[in-house]
Structure 1
C-alpha cells in the first residue's frame, strides 16, 4: 500500500465543500482541515504508484475549490499506537 500526504490550498469560501468532495474520491482515506500554510491535508492510500496519478492529478487536483497541491509520499510508518494496539488484543 502506497500512502501519500497531499497538502491542499483551497478557495477560502469553499473549504468545507472542497474537503468533502476530496474525501469522497477513490483512494482518499482521510481529509483534515488545519491551520498553517495549507488549508487541507488529504491522506491518499493506493495499491500502486501509478494509481497516485489517477487519485491526485486525475481527481483531487481537479476538485472545484482546489488551488494548488503538494504531494509527499511516505516511505515507512512509525507508530507506537499501532504497536500498543497489537499487544492489547483480547486484554481488558
Structure 2
C-alpha cells in the first residue's frame, strides 16, 4: 500500500467543485477543504508507487480548477489510534 498527502490550491471559487471531482477519482480516499496555505488536502491510497504516480501525474491533471499541487509521499505511519485498536480488549 502506498499512501500520500496531496496539498492542492484551486482556481478562485473552485474549491467545492474540485473537491467533488477529486473524491470521485480511484485512489483518492478522502478530500478535506482547509483554511490556510492550501485550499484542499487529498489523501491518496494506492496499491503501489506506480499507481500513485499515475494518480498524481495523469488523473489529477484532468481535474479542471486545480492551480497547483504538492505531493507528500508517506513513509511510515505513527498513530496511537492504530496501536490502541490492536491491543483493545473490547472495552
Are 1:39 and 2:39 matched, yes or no?
Answer: yes
TM, length-normalised to structure 1:
0.91
Equivalence for 1:25 = 25
Equivalence for 1:48 = 48
TM, length-normalised to structure 2:
0.92
Counterpart of 1:70 in 2: which secondary structure? strand
Q: Distance in 2 between matches of 1:73 and 1:61?
A: 18
Q: How many positions carry a matched residue from both structures?
A: 91
Q: CA RMSD in A?
A: 1.2
After TM superposition, where is structure 1 displaced by more than 3 Å over at least 4 residues in a row?
A: none
Q: Which runs of 5+ in 1 are unaligned?
A: none
Q: Which runs of 5+ in 2 are unaligned?
A: none
